[in-house]
A and B are shown apart, each in its own frame.
Chain A
């Protein structure tokens, strides 16, 4: 499962459009399921399926017929198509609603129908555009489970999403793009590990004179692995003995710095009252690479 991330206007839709034969590439080559999409779009279309963000279901016919006609377009024999439609309607919890027209469907239901429809011709590659945007949490988990099942069955899934959490949870590999260029391509863990100084170690210390002494901050900065140190100013009352927080941005594993910092603080007679580890998220990676947040 591949996740394609990028801010609005980054070129995600165009990229997917080219891969799904709907946008003509100006240059270069794209292969989907072993077929050159520009040279042989007809063959490529039989390899792939697309689940768009907004419903494009056929409103003139029932849900079941949406599935069976889709199968017919792709040459699936009628008997086989009917059996598979039943199976998929069952699996997607739509059995009772098979004879309803899609007009009456909620966003989550339409999304499920579109995924089921896409599976009718057994595509090798399934493209999903923001598959869970606008779904309630339960529907979202349901879709995630179905997607994981598909991955188990060997379908290649390509997911464009705004949702960092979704990408981190689902994707085996993530590509981050902006301005039409691919900026990074790795498994999510590797992307997060590779991010300089975004693991954090947050220390709570007893302040003297209401502030963290400047020499202490500088001493912490000199510890190996620390990229930068930030004293956090908040609204807790000033004065001797008040608690103050200091955040260390580190380049490696933050946990390995706990012992050296504790020693350093003890040497200087500063009381340490709390330690908190912060791991980088895919969102941090994203902001680091594109210089902007997603929305």
Chain B
């Protein structure tokens, strides 16, 4: 075996910093996304695209919605895309990798702390969610003809985008580590649909004062605060929850979700 002779065994010092291992794992995820780009785009864009088209274009053209509805729907759909993409990127693959294919084991055995493996997942999901949401901007222009836009609102838009993506990643991490593979279908439908429709992406929260019980329900969905922050950035004239309230609630929910999620991740990764 002359080929084997080239491999020398006996290096005992780790040649890798945890940062290097982290970047390599992230590179793997980006590589996979890149090689499956059309699938990625279809997966993240179709749902908001159809919502935008039906609610913003079709219903408006038929006269069922008032003028200007598309303007308050669009920021809400940006929030929706950020949260849902972040969640989908993490939750489903995580359940499958932990419960079934065990693919994640090779990364858990990389010379990096288990928290960093979870952190990489969150960062990757956030990057995908930010990308998907950014793509929604030209898609919005294409579908609606024009979108509400304020350059002065861009910093808040970016902040809302990042917080919303992180929120989705946090939800995904919690679901992905708590749900066993046998239950994934039912849990997803039980969580996904309510999250989608109680997150104020299709209506501004203050307008719900006519439906007080629903206003309470939506206030419990952290996605509401992403939608409201996005509206504050792009259509500030529409009544919305104060920006500082949105930011405080989002940071609070993020901390809680990350805490639960990382603990869940440890429980799945290490007995």
Q: Which 8 A-B pairs have the closest CB atoms?
A: A75-B16, A73-B110, A72-B24, A56-B102, A46-B14, A46-B111, A23-B271, A75-B15
- Stretch touching chain B among A58-66, A193-201, A234-242: A58-66
Most-contacted residue by chain A among B10, B20, B24 (CB, 10 A): B24
- Determine how close the nearest CB of chain B comes to the CB of A195; give it in whole angstroms: 35
Q: Which listed residue (B35, B107, B271) contacts A73, Cβ 8 A?
A: B107
CB distance from A48 to the nearest CB of B (A): 8
Main secondary structure of the interface of B (DSSP, over half): loop
The chain A residues found within 8 Å of chain B, CB to CB, are 14, 17, 20-24, 33-34, 41-43, 45-50, 52, 54, 56-61, 65, 69-70, 72-76, 84, 87, 90-91, 117, 119, 122, 124, 149, 153-155
| B61 CB within 8 Å of chain A | no
A180 to B6, alpha carbons, bound, how many Å? 40
Chain B 26-49 residues near chain A, CB threshold 8 A = 27-28, 31-32, 35-36
Q: Are B4 and A153 in contact (CB under 8 A)?
A: yes
Is the C-beta of B219 less than 8 angstroms from some C-beta in chain A?
A: no
Q: Is A122's CB under 8 angstroms from B9's CB?
A: yes
Q: Which of B97-154 contact A (CB under 8 A)?
A: 101-103, 105-113
Q: Is B207 an interface residue (CB 8 A)?
A: no
**Distance in angstroms between the alpha carbons of A120 and B108 in the assembled complex:** 16
Roughly how many angstroms separate A54 CA and B105 CA in the complex, as a whole number?
Answer: 12
Could you tell me if A46 and B102 are in contact, using CB atoms closer than 8 angstroms?
A: no
Residue in B11, B32, B113, B271 whose CB lies within 8 Å of A60: B32
Chain B: interface residue total (CB-CB under 8 A) = 40
Given A43-B14, A43-B111, A60-B32, A73 contacting B4 (CB threshold 8 A): no
Please measure, in the bound complex, the distance between the C-alpha atom of A153 and the C-alpha atom of B101, giving whole angstroms: 32
Chain B residues proximal to chain A, CB less than 8 Å: 1, 3-4, 6-12, 14-18, 20-21, 24-25, 27-28, 31-32, 35-36, 101-103, 105-113, 269-271
Closest partner residue, chain A, to B11 (CB atom): A122
Is A17 touching B271 in the complex (CB atoms < 8 A)? yes
What's the Cα separation between A114 and B102 when bound, in Å? Answer: 13
B248 → A minimal CB distance (Å): 35
Residues of B within 8 A of A69 (CB): 24, 27-28, 31
List B contacts of A75 (CB < 8 A): 14-17, 20-21, 24, 111
Q: How far is the CA of A75 from the CA of B7 in the complex (A)?
A: 16
CB contact under 8 A between A73 and B101, given known A61-B28, A124-B12: no
**In the complex, are the beta carbons of B111 and A73 less than 8 A apart?**
yes
Q: Is the CB of B271 within 8 A of A72?
A: no
Residues B270 and A74 in contact, CB atoms below 8 Å apart: no
- What is the CA–CA distance of A29 and B35 in the complex, to the nearest angstrom? 44
Residues of chain A within 8 A (CB-CB) of B112 are 42, 45, 73
Residue among A21, A45, A87, A154 with most chain B CB within 10 A: A45
Q: Judging by beta carbons under 8 Å apart, are A45 and B109 in contact?
A: yes
Partner pick for B110 among A43, A74, A119, CB 8 A cutoff? A74
* Distance, CA A253 to CA B137, complexed state (A): 85
A20 to B110, CA, bound (A): 11
State the CA gap A42–B21 with chains docked (Å).
11
Chain B residues whose C-beta falls within 8 Å of the C-beta of A56 in the assembled complex: 101-103, 105-106
Q: Smallest CB-CB separation from B1: which chain A residue?
A: A149
What residue in chain A is nearest B8 (Cβ atoms)? A122
**Sampled A-B contacts (20; CB under 8 Å):** A20-B109, A22-B105, A24-B270, A42-B18, A47-B14, A54-B102, A56-B105, A57-B103, A58-B106, A69-B24, A69-B27, A69-B28, A72-B24, A72-B28, A73-B21, A75-B14, A75-B16, A84-B6, A122-B11, A149-B4
